[in-house]
Amino acid sequence: MLNLDNYKIAKNVHAYHQGDINVAYDINSGSLHVLDDLTFAILQIMKKLQSNGKVLKVQEIFSLLQGEGQNCSEEELREVLGEFGELQKEGILFSPEAEEWNPVYPERPIIKSICLHVAHDCNLRCKYCFAGTGAFGGDRGLMNIETGKKGIDFVLDASAHRKHCEVDFFGGEPLLNFQVVLELVHYGRQAAAERGKTIKFTLTTNAVLLTEEVQNFLEQEDISVVLSIDGRPEVQDQMRPYANGKGSYDQVVPRIQQFAAKRPESSPHAVGTYYYARGTYTHFNLDFDKDVDHLLELGIKQISLEPVVAKPDESYAFQKADLPKILKSYDRLGEDLLARKMKGEEFSFFHFNVALEQGPCLPKRISGCGAGHEYVAISPEGDLYPCHQFVGQEEFKMGSLWDEPIELNPHLIQAFRNAHIYKKASCRDCWARYSCSGGCHAANHAFSGKLDEVYTLGCEFQRKRLEVALYLQIKEKSLNSSYEKDSATK
C-alpha cells in the first residue's frame, strides 16, 4: 500500500507534460513512467496538498479532483493509488531518497585529465569568448614543447593507479600550435605506454586551420575533435568573425563538413573517437533550434549547442524576457528532432542523449565535473588552474609545472571538492540534481562569486533540456518497439 508519510513528492518525483504525454521521473531510482491524464492530475493534487502542509487523504484528493472538473469515480482514484503503491513497492516510483554520498577523497588528488592550453592566441575574435579572444587577459603566446611534455608527465604521475588519462588540446586556437600538438601526441602515447597507461586525446578547434593535413593527422591518431560552429551563416558571422570583422562561416563550414564525413559512427555519448560540433547561442539567436536544423542540413550530425554565459551588460547576454522564448525553442527542437528520427535520420543532439540505463553512478552525479581535483588546465607558461574557464584568474591559480615538487593549492582542491550538490542549497531539493549535478563551477562563480551558489538561469536551461530529453527517450523507445513489432509481423 502506498506510504508517503514524511515523503516529499516534489523533491523526489518530477511530473510534467511534454508534447502529447505526461511524464513522471522518479529521481532517486532514475525510473521513467508515462501517466494518463487522470494520474497526472492526481499526482499534481498530491503535490499541492503537501506543499500546503496537508496530510494526504483519499477523500480530500477526490474532492479536489471533482473541483477541477475531473470526471472520475472514487474507485478509479483508488485504482491509481493502488498502482502508485505497486510501483513504490518495486522501488521505481516514490522510491526512497538516495543515501547522501559522502565523498572520501585520497589526501593527494588523483588528476586523470588535463586541458593543455597550447595556444593563448586565436585567429578569430569571437564576441563571447571567455578567454579574452584567446589570451585570457595575458600576453598572446604559444606553449613550447618542453612545457607540454611536462604537462603530460604531470598527468601520468598524478593519475596514480588510474590507467586511463585524458589530454585535451585547447586554447585560444590549438591549431595555431599544430607542430607542438603533433609532437605531444607522439610523446604522450609513448610515455603512457611506458607506464602501462593510455591517453585519450581530444582537441577543440574553430576549424579555420582544419586543413586536409590536419584532418588526416587527427584521423590517424584517433583524436576526438570538438568543432566550434554556431549555426546559420548570419549567426556564425556575427558572433565568430575574424579580427578584421569578416565572417568565418564560408571558410570553416566546408572544413567541418569534410571532417564530419570522416566519422559517421561517432558515439552519442562521447565514447571512443568521436567528433561533435559545439555551438553557442546568445540573445541574438533565441530561435537556436533553427541553427541546429541548419547544421543537420549541412550533414553535421553530432551537435551540442550551449547557451552563452555572459556578463549581464553584454549585448549578447540573455535578458529576462528571453527565457520563455528559449524554453519554447527547446520544445520546438525536441519535436523537430523527433520528426527527423521518425523519418529514420541518424544524428545526436548532445543534451538530449540521456543514458537512462547505463548512465553514471550516483557518486559521479553529485558533481558536474572534477575541476580542481581530478582535472586541471595548464596555461602555456605551465600554470595550473581548476579548468580552462579559470585560466588567467590569479586567485584560482593552483600551482605550476615548474614547482619542485608540484603541489596543488590544498585550499583550492578542498573548495572544488566541496562544490557538490549536497553543499549547494539550491540543488538539494532540485529534481534535476543527479543530472545537472550542480551545474558548471565557472558559470556559478562568474554569476554569484561563489562556488556553492548556482547560476540560476543555467538551472532553468538544465531542467528544460532534461524534460525534453526524457520525453524524447520515451518517444524513441515507443518508436523502436513499434518498429520491432512491425518487423516481427512481416
Partner 1 sequence: MAKHIQTIVKANLSETVKTGGCGECQSSCQSACKTSCTVGNQVCVK
Which of positions 264-323 make contact with partner 1 (CB under 8 A)?
A: 268-271, 278, 304, 306, 309
Q: Report how far residue 444's alpha carbon sits from residue 455's, in angstroms, rounded to the nearest whole number.
A: 5
**Closer residue to partner 1 in complex, CB, 120/365:** 365
- In three-state secondary structure terms, 195 is coil
- Under rule CB under 8 A, residue 260 binds partner 1: no
**Closer residue to partner 1 in complex, CB, 286/469:** 469
- Under rule CB under 8 A, residue 56 binds partner 1: no
Query: Is there a contact between 198 and 163 (Cβ–Cβ < 8 Å)?
Result: yes
**Closer residue to partner 1 in complex, CB, 99/107:** 99
Radius of gyration of the chain (CA): 24
Q: By CB neighbour count within 10 A (0-12 exposed, 13-18 middle, 19+ buried), where does 52 fall?
A: exposed
**Closer residue to partner 1 in complex, CB, 26/404:** 26
Mask for 334-363, x = binds partner 1 (CB under 8 A): ----------------xx-xxxxxxxxxxx
- Transcribe 82-129 into DSSP letters: HHHHHHHHHTSSSPPPPPPP-----SS----EEEEE-EE--S---TT-
Which of positions 63-102 make contact with partner 1 (CB under 8 A)?
A: 79-80, 83-84, 86-87, 90-93, 95-99, 101
To 10 degrees, the CA torsion angle through 24, 348, 172, 160? 70
- Under rule CB under 8 A, residue 46 binds partner 1: no
Which of positions 101-160 make contact with partner 1 (CB under 8 A)?
A: 101, 103, 110, 112-113, 115, 130
- Under rule CB under 8 A, residue 364 binds partner 1: yes
List 46, 185, 214, 443, residue binding partner 1 (CB under 8 A): 443
Closest separation between CB of residue 36 and partner 1, Å? Answer: 5
Strand pairing class (21-26; 31-35): antiparallel
Peptide bond into 405 cis (omega under 30): yes
Segment holding 11, helix H or strand E:
helix 9-12
Q: What DSSP designation does 15 have?
A: E
**Closer residue to partner 1 in complex, CB, 64/362:** 362
Closest separation between CB of residue 439 and partner 1, Å? Answer: 6
476-488 exposure pattern, b = at least 16 Cβ within 10 A, e = fewer: eeeeeeeeeeeee
Q: What DSSP designation does 68 have?
A: T
Which of positions 157-216 make contact with partner 1 (CB under 8 A)?
A: 162, 164, 166, 168, 170, 200, 202-204
Question: What number of chain residues touch partner 1 (CB under 8 A)?
Answer: 92
Closest separation between CB of residue 199 and partner 1, Å? Answer: 13
Which of positions 402-431 make contact with partner 1 (CB under 8 A)?
A: none
Q: Give the residue among 411, 478, 466, 406 at the shortest CA–CA distance from 439.
A: 466
List 45, 406, 442, 451, residue binding partner 1 (CB under 8 A): 442
- Under rule CB under 8 A, residue 365 binds partner 1: yes
**Closer residue to partner 1 in complex, CB, 97/403:** 97
- Under rule CB under 8 A, residue 440 binds partner 1: yes
Q: Give the residue among 426, 451, 453 at the shortest CA–CA distance from 372.
A: 451
Query: Is there a contact between 347 and 340 (Cβ–Cβ < 8 Å)?
Result: yes
Mask for 370-399, x = binds partner 1 (CB under 8 A): x---xx-----------xxx----------
**Closer residue to partner 1 in complex, CB, 52/358:** 358
**Candidate ranges 232-240, 292-300, 318-326, 435-443; the one touching partner 1 (CB under 8 A):** 435-443
- Under rule CB under 8 A, residue 474 binds partner 1: yes
- Under rule CB under 8 A, residue 238 binds partner 1: no
Closest separation between CB of residue 413 and partner 1, Å? Answer: 15
List 172, 173, 439, 468, residue binding partner 1 (CB under 8 A): 439
- Under rule CB under 8 A, residue 257 binds partner 1: no
Cell of 410: 590544498
Strand partners, 31: 26
Query: Is there a contact between 253 and 295 (Cβ–Cβ < 8 Å)?
Result: no
**Candidate ranges 34-42, 136-144, 291-299, 330-338; the one touching partner 1 (CB under 8 A):** 34-42
- Under rule CB under 8 A, residue 58 binds partner 1: no
Q: Where are the beta strands (DSSP E) in 19-95?
A: 21-26, 31-35
- Under rule CB under 8 A, residue 35 binds partner 1: yes
- In three-state secondary structure terms, 422 is helix
Q: Provide CB contacts within 8 A for 404, sequence distance 6+.
A: none
Residue 417 CB coordination number (10 Å): 17
**Closer residue to partner 1 in complex, CB, 71/244:** 71
Closest separation between CB of residue 48 and partner 1, Å? Answer: 19
**Closer residue to partner 1 in complex, CB, 250/314:** 314
Peptide bond into 172 cis (omega under 30): yes
Cell of 272: 571512443
